[in-house]
Chains A and B, each alone.
Chain A
C-alpha cells in the first residue's frame, strides 16, 4: 500500500478520533466557561474558581463520568451499609433552583422524598452560605416535609455535600459531640439519588429547631443562631457577634416572651464585654452552663477546629428553666488541614477563636471542668471506641465513594482512591492528635513543688495537669479546722475558703481542691481565619494552703492527686513568694461550710428573697409573704411541720404573693411535710419565669407529704416542676387557677393525693412520667389527667369525677389505667394528636376499670387509640374507630398489639425498678 493510500485512509477515517475529541472539547469549553464566568468573573466566591483549576476540574469530572458509566452502568442498587435517599424534583424545579445561583437556590420547590420504600411529600432548596454547597454538580439540599408527614421525627433536615476529600469532617465532629453529651443535630451518612441519578455521599444533618431541643430532653426555648458571613454579613458595622446582639437570629423561641426579646443574649454579651473581674465571672457562671461550655471546648480541641468564631457558626440555647446558656454544636468542620497549627507549634490545646472563648478561658473553673472532661474521655476508653466507630463508618461509605460520579471538592476533581486515602489519613491524624492531647492533659511532666510557709504549705504548679486533691501526712494527729487557699493577683493577696473540702483522719489531712497552672492568653486577632495564631501559654502558679489546727512544721509528706486517682509525692522546693496569677479569675472554687438557716415562729418576707444556704423551717412556723414577695431557695430546704403544728405560707393581706421556688441541683433532697401554701402566684423576669406558686426547677429527690396547696392566683399553675423528680404523698391541691400540677420533663409519684376544682387540669404531663396511686381528681375544668408530648402515665386506682375529660392522652403519649373509676365526666377517656412535631396521637389502656355515667365513654382520632380491657362500661363507645373494647362490654378477645405489648414491657420494668 502506497503512502498516499495510507494517508487517504487516515484522512477518511480521521473523524473517528477527531469527532469525539471535538465533542468533548466543545462540552468542556461550555461547562468550564459557564462555571468560570459565574463563580469567578461575576461572583467573588470563597473558593476562587481560577480558570486553570476550573478547566482541570471539568476535565476530571468528564473522565469520572465516563469511568462511572463504563464500569458501573446500571448499578444503582442500594448499598448494604449506607442508606439511600431519593429526591424526586421536577426538572422545572431544578431549573428554577439553578437559574441564578446562589440567589435562585434559596427558594423552595416541590419534591418527593423516598427512603426504604416510603415516600414523603416535601419541599427542597439549596442551602449553605458558601459556593461549595451550590457551585458544583453535587449540591447541598434543605429538605422540608409537610407537617403531617415527619421524616423520622424531623420536619426539616439538610443533605450536605462534604467540603473536603476527607468527607467526614463534620460528620465525625457531630458524632463526637454526641459522645460528649452536647446538644448536636442528628447526623447520618447517606447516599443521595436525585431523580434516579446517583449524586454520591451526603451528610444528613438535622436542621436545628425546637424539635432538636425536645428530642434531647430540653424544654423549648430561645435558640440563637450567630452567622454573620457571606450574604448574611452586615455592612456598616463590624460583624462581631459578641458586640451586637442584633446580629443573632432566633431559630426557636420561648413563647412565654416576646418573639423579639433578646434579654438573655444581651445579658450574656454584657458579661463578655465587661472588664475582667471576679464579679464578671460570678455573673458568667450564673448565665452559662460551665460544664457544657467546657465540653464544647473539649470538643473543639479534640476535633482541632477553630470554625466557631467571632463571626459565625455559633448556636446558643438559653435554657430559661435553668437560667443558663448551653452551646449547641453546629458546623465544626473538624480536623481541617487548613486550620492546623503552623508546623512546629504542636497541637492546639486551647481554642481561642472568639471573645466568648477568651472570657471562658480566663475562668479557672471552666479550665478545670474541661480538664476533667478530657481526662474522663481518655480514661473511659471513649476515644478508642470513637475511632473504631469512625473506621466502621469509613468502611460503610467506601462503596458509595467508589460509585460517586461527583467527587469534586475545592475546585478539584478527586479520584475515589484519593478520598479513601484522605479518610484513612484523617483517622490516623485524629489518633496522633489525641495522643498528644492525652499526654498534655493527663500526664504530668513536672512534679508539684511545695514548701512550708509561716502559715501553711505552698505549692508551685507548672504544667497543664492540675492538682485535684492534696493529702498531707503529719507527724502527729490533728483536727483540721477552717481551711483556705491564698493566692495573689496584680500584687494583692486573696484568700478562698475551702473548709468544706477538708477532712482529717488521724495523721492525714485530705483537701479536695482543684488548682491549675496560670493560663496566659495570647490573643493576636479575633478575625475569622486569623484566630489560629491565638494561644494560651502556661506559666507557673503558686497557692498557699492554710489550715487551722495544722502546724506546717508537723507536715512530713505532701502528696497530690492529679486527676487520675493516684497520689504522687510533691517535691520539696525553695521557699519563694506566691506567683501572681494575673488574669485567671475564680482560681479557687470556694467551698465554705454552709450552716443552715433556721426559721421559726413568724417570718415576714417582702420583695424577692434568694437564699443560698440550707434552710430549716421548724414546725409551726408561719411565713408571711407580702404582695408579689417571692422566695428562691438554691440549697436544700427541710420544711417539716407536724399535723399539730403545720408550717404555713400565707399572704400578709388579700393580694397574692409570688412564688416559693426550689432552683438547681443543690436543692436536691428538699422536703415539705405538713405544709400549707395558699394564695401564691408566680414570678417572671426578663430572663426566667416561675409559673407556679410552688416551682421546682432542676431539682432531684423532692418530697411533698401531707401538704395542702390551695387557691393559686394570677399565673397558670399551683405546682410546676421541670427537670425534676419528686414524690408526693397525702397532699391536696384545691382551687388552682389553671393546672393544679404541671410536670415538664420530670418524673413524679403521687400517692393518696386529691386534686379538686382546678381551673384547668388536675395533673398535666409534658415529656414526663408519673405513677399515680389512689388519687382523686374531682371537678377539674379540663382534664383530670392530661398526658401529652411523649409522656407516660401509670395510674392505679385513680378516681376521676365530674371533670371535662377524665384522662386525655395525646402526641405519642401513653396512659395506663388500672382499676380506675371514671364517673360523671363529660368524656371519660380521650386520645388525639395535637402537635405535628410528634408523629403519633395518644394511647390509653384501661384495665379492670369502671366508666359510668360519663357523657362519652371513650373517643380517639385516627392517629390515636384507646383500649378498654375488662372494664365496666354503661355506654359502650363506638368500636369501629380507634377505640377497642374487650371484656364485659363485647364478646371475643382482642389480641395485644405492639403498643400494648410495649406498655406491658414498660410496666414490667417499672415493677422491677420499684
Chain B
C-alpha cells in the first residue's frame, strides 16, 4: 500500500484540523446568531417560506397574463410541477387555484373531456373539496350522454349542503330535466330550509284563510293552511274563529289546476254535514263570490292567478265552533310551486337569489308569493327591558303589499336592549338602519350581517333573532324597511 509521504500526511492532518475548526466556528457562529440575533433567524425563516411559494404564485400570475390559447398549456405545466403537493401542504392552495383555472379554461374551450380529467385529478388531490366535485358535474354535463352521471354527482353534492345555491341549482335542473317533480320539490324546500315533505308529486301549500269579523279582512287574521294530499285526493282543514262574518280562502299563488268533486265537510257539536258549492251560497247570507277562478257545479278551475280566492258569508250560526274541510279531487299537470321556479329559470336565475334581489316593482309580487307561502311577513321588534321593567312588542306587518317602513322608539332609561325577531320566510331581504353604534349579539345561525349600522338579513332558514345593545344613552330608535 502506498502511504502518502510524511509531509503530505501532515498537510492532510492539518487540513482536517482546519476543517473541523471551521465547522466548529460555524457552529459557534450559528449559536451566536440564534442567541443574539434571533431577528436574523426569523428573517431567514420568512424568506425561505416565501421563496417556497413564490414560484407557484409567479406561475399563476404568468398564466393570468398569458396570451389566449397558452393558458391551458401553462397551467398543465404548473400542475405537473406540483404533482407531489398534497392537501395540507403550503403549496396546496396554489395547486387548487391551478385546478380551478385549468378546469374553467378547458370548459370555456369546450374541452369537456380534458376538463373531466382535470376534475378527477382535483378530486384525487382533495376528496373533500366539494368544488372539485362540482367541477366533475360540470364537465360531465358538458359531455354528450353523461348527464345521468352528472345528475348523480349533483344529487350527492346537494345531499351534503342543500342550502348552497351552487349545489342546489344543478340538482334542481337535473330533477327538472328528468321530469322528477317530486325530487325537484323536495330540493326546493330543502334549499329554502322551510321543511316540507312531498307526497308523490303532490305539493300543496299556500292555502290562505282570512276572516272578516265586521271591520273588513284583517291581515293579522291570516292563517296559512297546509293541504293533505293522498294521490289526487285533496283535503284542506280550517277552523273559522267564532264571530267570523265572512271568510276568504285564497288558493296557492299561480296554481293552474282543476278541482273536481268539490265539497265542504263541516263538523260542529251537533255532528258533521256536507256543504257543496251551491249550498254554500244558499245557506249563508252572502252569496259565494270568486276571484280568478271558474266555478262550474262542483268544479273549480284555476288559471294561474296570483290571488285566486273564494269568499263567502258565514251567516248567523258562525258563533259556534266548527271545523271545515274542503275536499276535492285535484287534476293538474305539475306541482303548484313549479311555476315560480320555472318562471325564474326563464330569466336565467332561479331560487332565492332572484326572489330576494328582484326589481323594486316586483316587490309586491314577491311579497304576495311570501304571503301565500307563509301568510304574512311579520316582524316583531321586542324590547328587552332593564332588569325589572316591562317588555314591549311592536309587530311590523307587510302582507301582500309593497315595502313596509317602520320607526320604533324606546326610552333608553327603561330598555337595555332591543330584539328583533324575523320569521323564517324564504326569499326576503330586510334592512334595518340603526342610527347609532351597535354592539350586536347575533344568535347563531341568524345569517345576519351587521355593517356600519346597517343590518342586512337575507332569507334566514329559521326565525332569526338578534339583540342590539346601543351605546346611545338617551333613546333607542330603529328605522327599518322590509323590502
Contacts and interface: CB of A to CB of B under 8 A. Distances in A.
Interface of A: 11, 14-15, 17-19, 21-22, 24-26, 28, 36, 40-44, 50-52, 55-56, 102-103, 230-237, 243-244, 246-247, 273-277, 355, 358, 460, 488, 490-492, 521-524, 526, 539-540, 542, 576-577, 579-580, 582-583
A579 B387 contact: yes
A490 B128 contact: no
A524 to B, nearest CB: 7
Contacts of B128: 232-235
Contact of B130 (A22, A237, A540, A583): A237
A52 B388 contact: no
Interface in B14-40: 16-17, 19-21, 23-24, 26-27, 30, 34, 38
Contact of B391 (A233, A274, A491, A583): A491
Contact of A41 (B52, B462, B464): B52
B437 interface: no
A235 B382 CA distance: 38
B130 to A, nearest CB: 4
Given A18-B17, A42-B90, A44-B88, A577 B390 contact: yes
Point out which of A22, A102, A488, A492 has the most chain B C-beta atoms below 10 A from its C-beta. Answer: A22
Contact of A540 (B49, B88, B132, B388): B388
Interface in B388-405: 388-393
A220 B128 CA distance: 29
B160 A523 contact: no
B23 A26 contact: yes
A25 B26 contact: yes
Given A21-B23, A490-B393, A523-B441, A580 B385 contact: yes
Contacts of B380: 490
Nearest to A26: B23
Contacts of B49: 40-41
A40 B45 contact: yes
Given A26-B23, A539-B387, A579-B387, A237 B424 contact: no
17 contacts: A11-B17, A22-B23, A41-B48, A41-B52, A42-B90, A43-B90, A52-B38, A55-B41, A233-B128, A235-B126, A236-B129, A273-B193, A276-B465, A490-B391, A491-B391, A523-B442, A579-B385
Contacts of B393: 490-492
Contact of B164 (A11, A42, A237): A237
Given A231-B87, A524-B441, 10 more contacts: A17-B24, A43-B88, A43-B90, A44-B88, A51-B45, A52-B41, A237-B161, A246-B160, A273-B193, A275-B464
Interface residues of B, number: 63
Contacts of B215: none
Contact of A236 (B26, B130, B385, B392): B130
A51 B86 CA distance: 22
A244 B52 contact: no
B445 interface: yes
Which of A28, A231, A275, A358: most chain B Cβ within 10 A? A275
B443 A523 contact: yes
B452 interface: no
A231 B88 contact: yes
B413 to A, nearest CB: 16
B7 interface: no
A306 to B, nearest CB: 15
B131 interface: yes
B134 interface: yes
Contact of B24 (A22, A28, A233): A22
B160 A244 contact: yes
Contacts of B159: 246
A15 B392 contact: no
B44 interface: yes
Given A14-B20, A52-B34, A275-B463, A44 B390 contact: no
Contacts of A583: 465
A18 B21 contact: yes
Closest 7 CB pairs of A and B: A275-B463, A236-B130, A25-B27, A18-B20, A22-B23, A235-B129, A51-B45
A877 B126 CA distance: 61
B384 A235 contact: no
Contact of A355 (B91, B392, B445): B445
B149 interface: no
A50 B462 contact: no
A203 to B, nearest CB: 25
Contacts of A540: 387-388
Contacts of A19: 20
B167 to A, nearest CB: 8
Contacts of B423: 275
A15 B45 contact: no
B433 to A, nearest CB: 23
Contacts of A22: 19-20, 23-24, 27
Contacts of B91: 42
Contacts of A55: 34, 41
B444 A526 contact: yes
Given A18-B23, A231-B88, A237-B161, A358 B444 contact: yes
A183 B88 CA distance: 33
A577 B34 contact: no
Given A19-B20, A55-B34, A237-B160, A490 B382 contact: yes
A18 B462 contact: no
Nearest to A24: B27
B251 to A, nearest CB: 28
Contacts of A232: 128
A103 B86 contact: yes
A41 B388 contact: no
Nearest to B96: A235
Interface string B302-335: 0000000000000000000000000000000000
A52 B45 contact: yes
Interface string B462-482: 111100000000000000000
B461 interface: yes
B89 interface: yes
A491 B390 contact: yes
Contacts of B161: 236-237, 244, 246
A725 to B, nearest CB: 39
Contacts of B387: 539-540, 579
B462 A51 contact: no
Given A43-B90, A234-B130, A580-B390, A52 B42 contact: yes
Nearest to B389: A577
B295 to A, nearest CB: 36
Best-buried of A55, A232, A576 by chain B (most CB within 10 Å): A55
A130 to B, nearest CB: 10
Given A18-B23, A274-B462, A542 B134 contact: no
A274 B461 CA distance: 8
B32 to A, nearest CB: 13
Nearest to A12: B17
A275 B391 contact: no
B152 to A, nearest CB: 15
A43 B444 contact: no
Interface string B152-163: 000000011101
B89 A43 contact: yes
A41 B463 contact: no
Nearest to B41: A52
A51 B44 contact: yes
A50 B380 CA distance: 53
A248 to B, nearest CB: 11
B388 A542 contact: yes
Interface in B320-365: none
B444 to A, nearest CB: 5
Contacts of B134: 236
Nearest to B34: A55
A52 B31 CA distance: 11
B90 A44 contact: yes
Given A43-B89, A246-B160, A275 B23 contact: no
Nearest to A491: B391
